[in-house]
Chains A and B, each alone.
Chain A
Amino acid sequence: MRENIPDQPGSLIAPRPAPPERKLPWGRLDAFWLLLIAALLAAGALRAQGAFSYEWNWSSVWPYIIKTDPKTGQWAPNLLVQGLLTTLRLALWGMALALAIGLLMGWMRNHPRLLLRLISASYVMTVRNIPPVVFVFVFVYFIASQFMPSLALDQRLSELPASAQEVLAVLFGPAALINNFFLGLVCLSVFSGAYVTEIVRAGLQAVPPGQAEAARSLGMSEGDSLRFVVWPQALRQVLPALSGQFIQLIKDSSLVSLVSIQELTFMAQDVQVSTQRVFEVFVLTAAVYFCICFVLSQSLAYLERRHARAR
C-alpha cells in the first residue's frame, strides 16, 4: 500500500488492519486421509461380520433396563438401572473420598517430618505397584474384613428415623446393601487416592518456593501461607490431571464388581448370564460408561477454562 509509506524519515508507520485470517486448516490431502481411514474401518467391519456370524438381538436386553412391576403393573428400574445408580453413587462419593485421601497424603508426601513422608510414600508405592485386581481382593478380604463388621453400618442405619433412612437411601443406596456399598467405596477410594496423592504432590512441588517465602516475609503464618497462597495455586495447576484421574476412577469402579458390589458391571454380567446376549449387554454398558465419563470430562474442561481465564 503506497499511501502507508511514511513521507518523513524516522516517523512511525501507521497501524493498518491485519489481513483476513486463513480458512480452516483443511486441505485435499486431509480429505484423502479421512476417506482412507473410513474405508479401512468399513473394510474391517465387513470382515468382522464375515468372520463370526453373530445375530444381534436387542429385544431381550431392554426389559433389564426398566421392568413392569408384576404386582402393581407400574414401571420400575430393573437390574441395569439399579447398577447404574450404584455406579454413580460409587463415582460421586469415591471422588470425594479419593480427593480427601489425596489431599492429606499429598501434603504428607512433602512434609518436613520423615515419619509422615514415609507413611504416605509407603501407601503410594504399595497401591501403585500391585495389580488392581489383586489390590481389590487383598483389601476386601484381608483388610476391610478387620473393621467393616465392627462398624455394623446396616444395624446403625436401621435405628435411625424413617425420614433420615430415606435420605440415606438416596445418597448411599438400599439399606440392606449398605455394608456392601461402603466396602466397595472405601476400596475404590483407597485405590484411587494413591494416584491423587501423586498428583497433589506434583502440584505442591510445582508452586515456586518464592510464593511461600513471600507469604512468610509478609508475616503470614505457615498455615495461612498454605491455605491462601500455596494450595490454591497447587490445585489450579493439577486440575487437568485430576480430571483425568476422576474419569479413570469411574471406570475403575467396575473393579469392585469382582467382590460382588452390585454396580453396573456386576449387573451387566448378571444380565449376560440370564439373557445370553453377551455383546449387546457389553455394548450397552460401554455406552453408558462413555456417557458418564464424557459428561464429566466436558464439565471439568469447562471448569478448567474458567480457572484458566482467572490467571
Chain B
Amino acid sequence: MRDADRDDLELHRGLAAGDRGAFETLYRRYSPSAYGLAYRITGQQVLAQDVVHDAFLALWRAPEAYDPARGALRTFFLSLVHHRAVDTVRREERIRARQDRASNLEPVTVEDPAEGVTDAADLAERRIEVRAALDTLPPDQRQVLELAYYGGRTQVQIAEEIDIPIGTVKTRTLAAMRKLRRVLDRSEAPEGA
C-alpha cells in the first residue's frame, strides 16, 4: 500500500467520526481529479460541479459505503464520480431528446475546457502510469473503452456509432480492461514483489 493510500485511510476514519478537517483535506486532494473527470465526461462545467458536489456529499454522509478491503479510497471515490457523471450525461440526453422533440432546439454547446492544474506528486505519478497503460492498448480496444468510460456511451450506442456488432464491443471492452488491469497491477506492486 502506498503512503498516500495509508493517509487516505486515516482521513476516511476521520470522515466516519465527522471530522470536517478530514473532509476538507480530501477535498483539496481529490477535487481537481474529480472535477477534471466529471468535466471530461459531461463537457459542461455546471454539470461537472454538481457531480463533484454530490460525490463529496455522498462520501461525507455515507463514509461506510467505502470498504478499505476493496481497494484505495482514491479508486472508490473516482469510480463514484465516474458513475455519477455518466448518469448525469444519460439524464441530460433524455432531457435534451425531449426538448429536441418539443422545440427542435440546437444541441448544447460544449464549453471551453478549464485550465489544468498540478496535483499531488503521488497522484501525478499514478496519472502517468494510467496514461501509459492506456497507450499500450490496441487502437480499436482503446476506442471502445474510451467511448464507454469518458464518453458515457452505452454498448449499444458504441456499436451504432462505430458500426461494429455489439458482440465485438463487448469483447474489445473486456480485452481492454483485462490488459489495463494487468499493466496497472504490475505498476502498483511493490518492487521485488
Tell whether A pairs with B: no
Interface residues of A (CB under 8 A from B): none
